[in-house]
A and B are shown apart, each in its own frame.
Chain A
Amino acid sequence: MTSNPPNRPLIEVRGLHRYFGKTKAVQDMSFKVFPGEVFGYIGPNGAGKTTSMRILATLDEPTYGNAFVDGFSVVDDPDRVRRRLGFMPDYFGAYQNVNVYEYLDFFARSYGLRGAQRTGAIHYVMDFTQLDKLADKPIDGLSKGMKQRLCLGRTMIHDPAVLILDEPAAGLDPRARIELREMIALLAKNGKAVLISSHILTELAEICDRVGIIEQGKLLAVGSVDEISGRAETISKVQVRVLDGTERLITWLTARDDIADIVQKDRGVAFTHEGGPPKQAELLKQLVQAEFAVVDFASKTKSLEDVFLHVTEGRVQ
């Protein structure tokens, strides 16, 4: 496999469209994922996540547009793309009468690994996914979590530069999720580009460097969670506590145009403030200048769920 210059994205989607008859599953989607980056794909069911992932995995063709893996078109050079790409679908394709080792061995052979290179890759993957003790176990008898590990192992058996993981944490218990998250973080640390979709937004927020919010086939926002929150943040909730003079503070706040919904709480005042972080900083400065003894000033940081709901404008069903 050829080396990848750091400025070249490992995944590049350019104006991707995919129509199924009159249904527009993917519309004008564009984004890039660079080496060592984990890119989260967020969207409700039927938003077009799996369709676009399948196109990237060379399992489907776009109606218009193109997608590139390490600079190779998924439409024109699928064979070159496949050498660089590992795809973990949201289902587990199980073969009958095959054990864990044989399953991995088959895929290693299918990716052209021979001899010591193949056995080395199988042992590395089994060690990485902690499946080494289950080598002889038939895959039909594996638990959901073990199957997901095996599926991840199959995805990375040929050491691809790009990993596309469609709902890898679905159906896993909390412990297995944490372990999966750690594995993905390790893969990214090793320089792989990871495109991951999940319904569990808190999980994505923790491991993703950037996220793309997709709805009805359209990519609505791309960036880090903070960037998107920043862009989305026009009104935020703020809580202020002063040593004394709470009543005076309420009067002072009521006089301002950028403040509303003032509520006196246990030991402070909560309100909504129109404006992003710079205006909040300005507000704090003015409070201090107005000789309030501010002991606590907190604005609630938006979670990925808040951002998602804000960006999708609550259209998600």
Chain B
Amino acid sequence: MSTADANTTEAERPTQATSNWRNWLEVLEHRVVGLLEWANPILVKETRQALKSKQFLLTFAIVLVACWIVSFAGRAIIGPQIFYIASGQDMLVAYYAILAFPLAVIVPFSAFRSLSAEKEDNTYDLLSITTLSSQQVITGKLGSAILQILIYFSVVSPCIAFTFLLRGVDAVSVALLLGVTLLASIGMSLIGLLAGTMASVRYTQMLLSVGLVLGMAFAFFGAVGVTPELLRESHKMIQDRDFWIGLGGVLTLYLTTFGLLHTAAAAQISFPSENRSTRIRYWMLLQQACFVAWMTVPPLLYPDEPEAVPVLACAAVGIGLIYWYVMGSIMTGEWPHLSRRVQRSLPSSLVGRSLFSWLNPGPASGYVFAVANSGALVALGLITLWANAPFPPFGLSATQISQFMLLGWCYLIIFLGLGRLLVSVLRRVAFVPLAAAFLVHLILMMAAIGVPAVIYSMSSQFRSSGYSLLLATNPFWTLSEVLESGLVSGREMLVYLLPAAAIVTFLLNLRAIGAELSRHRIAAPARVYEEEEELHPHPEPSPTSPWEEDPREPAKV
């Protein structure tokens, strides 16, 4: 090699390196583009839109400028002391406030608007006739919200790294704060989307907008207000085992509720003949299973405090009954007729029908589903209670707690059953949608609480005598009386009255339950089988061993 050649090669080396680097980037870009082929179409479209939208650019610029202002102003205010005092915590709170605003308000509200605007701009119809499933639509919209959240995080993250250098905050606390904020923002965006699916007409859109903005403002101010205290206490909290256990419980609740809301939002926008209920019921079952699992944790962790177990069981059953009442109020509002599409997927075997019929859509199956699940919870509560009966807590007897649980369950059976019957009667004369059916349950409960309360307040005789059987329709008052004083002085009647009323209500619903249970699976139309056969033809029979004759070959004579 001549000197000249050597010189040329030396000069070309950086160019070659740049070229390699570019090639590598091109390969990477190609791979990313290839991956994007499989990305959710809504995510792709909304990302394109967001990057061109003035609203996003403006918010992005405001967050960026606010971060700069806080950095410069904070540095100026702290002055030379920045080298001696730990000022990271104060700066972190300021940066957090900047980050929390888009995360708690802008992104969730944009998620709500992105779905409701589709309806306003007449693009929703075009979207719903594509082959995208309702789950994909919700996931795409949520993905777009998550992308925006991550972009806002990326703006503030250098500033947060800066606070870490200023001392006063530890990495675990910062990670926890940001992690919780990220999850909260994603959760709020999902709530925004769920609200968007409900905003079918202008006035509901207005009402939901106002409700959402108020909720988001509350979340924003709450988060910013609590953060300084949380950061101050974070050292102690992260060393406490109970904190991590509690966080695990909250995370489980978050994840299962997230799944439930996502499925509910997708169900809201799915085609009317689709099964909108079964998946939601699976999520409810999972929530109940997680709830029961978490309830077993404290007794395992604190075996030396057995008196806490009955209280915990009592509280768990109380929460569970409220949960199943709310969910039951929604399920009993479902439409009683099953579409042919749903009927095609009904369980057909005897075992399947007896186990899974309660997961089928329908008000009566929903009623049984809520009653059975709450019953299982009450049974578990009673077993736990009586296993720890020698340790009655706070002067409460095991009998009192048992009565609380059982009477609470009776109330659930009565109120859900009566509500379902009322909705069924109303549907004979008018169209009662799901939301109106839920309202019927609410009105029934309010009437049961309010009417005796009015009579009670108007009569001095009743007022002076304290709790009486007149108030038996008020579950909250009655159950608190059961826990506080037990069933004494004439209140023993409740032990017979409420279960009898529960049995009668259940029997009144039995006909509808039987009708829903007797539904059979129907065959899909021939055209569906025809297409399935064309799309997924049966494989040609082939020999499964070397000794077997090939069925494709003509038979030897």
Contacts and interface: CB of A to CB of B under 8 A. Distances in A.
Nearest to A88: B126
B128 A107 contact: no
B44 A109 contact: yes
A111 B534 contact: no
B267 to A, nearest CB: 15
Contact of B340 (A75, A78, A95): A75
A114 interface: yes
A57 interface: yes
Contacts of B271: 58, 78
A2 interface: yes
A110 interface: yes
Contacts of B556: none
A83 B528 contact: no
Nearest to B133: A79
Interface stretch (B22-30, B48-56, B67-75, B151-159): B48-56
Interface in A90-115: 91-98, 102, 105-107, 109-112, 114-115
A94 B121 contact: yes
A76 interface: yes
Given A94-B123, A102-B48, A57 B129 contact: yes
Contacts of A78: 271, 273
A114 B38 contact: yes
B130 A82 contact: yes
Given A77-B341, A78-B271, A97-B49, A110 B127 contact: yes
Contact of A76 (B44, B126, B341, B534): B341
Interface size class of B (residues with CB under 8 A): 35 or more
B466 interface: no
Contacts of B341: 75-77
B228 interface: no
Nearest to B342: A76
A59 B525 contact: no
B126 A80 contact: no
A10 to B, nearest CB: 12
Contacts of B49: 95-98
Interface in B309-354: 339-341, 344
Given A85-B129, A87-B129, A89-B122, A95 B45 contact: yes
Nearest to A77: B528
B48 A98 contact: yes
Contacts of B48: 97-98, 102
B551 interface: no
Interface in B502-536: 525, 527-528, 530-531, 534-535
Interface in A144-190: 154, 158
A57 B128 CA distance: 10
Chain A CB count within 10 A is highest, among B44, B125, B130, B340, for B130
A34 interface: no
B37 interface: yes
A110 B44 CA distance: 11
Contact of B527 (A72, A105, A106): A72
Nearest to A54: B125
Contacts of A80: 528, 531
Interface in B85-136: 121-133
Interface string A270-295: 00000000000000000000000000
Given A95-B49, A95-B123, A59 B273 contact: no
Interface in B123-177: 123-133
A215 interface: no
Contact of B273 (A61, A72, A89, A112): A61
Interface residues of A, number: 41
Interface string B226-259: 0000000000000000000000000000000000
Contacts of A111: 130-131
A73 interface: yes
Contact of A2 (B45, B127, B530): B530
B272 interface: yes
A58 to B, nearest CB: 6
Nearest to B40: A109
B475 interface: no
Contacts of A97: 48-49, 52-53
Interface string B6-18: 0000000000000
Nearest to A75: B273
A223 interface: no
B527 A89 contact: no
A102 B131 CA distance: 18
A65 interface: no
A214 to B, nearest CB: 21
Contacts of B393: none
A87 to B, nearest CB: 5
Contacts of A79: 131, 133
Given A58-B271, A76-B340, A106-B41, A91 B122 contact: yes
Given A76-B525, A110-B132, A115 B339 contact: no
Nearest to A97: B52
A71 interface: yes
A110 B525 CA distance: 27
Contacts of A83: 131
B71 to A, nearest CB: 31
Nearest to A86: B129
B121 A2 contact: no
B129 A58 contact: yes
Contact of B339 (A2, A75, A87): A75
Nearest to A59: B125
Interface of B: 37-38, 41-42, 44-45, 48-49, 52-53, 121-133, 271-273, 339-341, 344, 525, 527-528, 530-531, 534-535
17 contacts: A57-B129, A59-B128, A61-B273, A70-B527, A71-B525, A72-B527, A72-B528, A72-B531, A82-B129, A83-B131, A89-B125, A93-B122, A93-B125, A95-B123, A109-B41, A110-B130, A111-B131
Given A76-B339, A154-B126, 5 more contacts: A83-B131, A89-B122, A93-B125, A93-B126, A109-B41
A-B pairs with lowest CB-CB distance, top 10: A109-B41, A93-B123, A110-B130, A97-B52, A71-B527, A106-B45, A93-B122, A76-B341, A93-B126, A97-B49
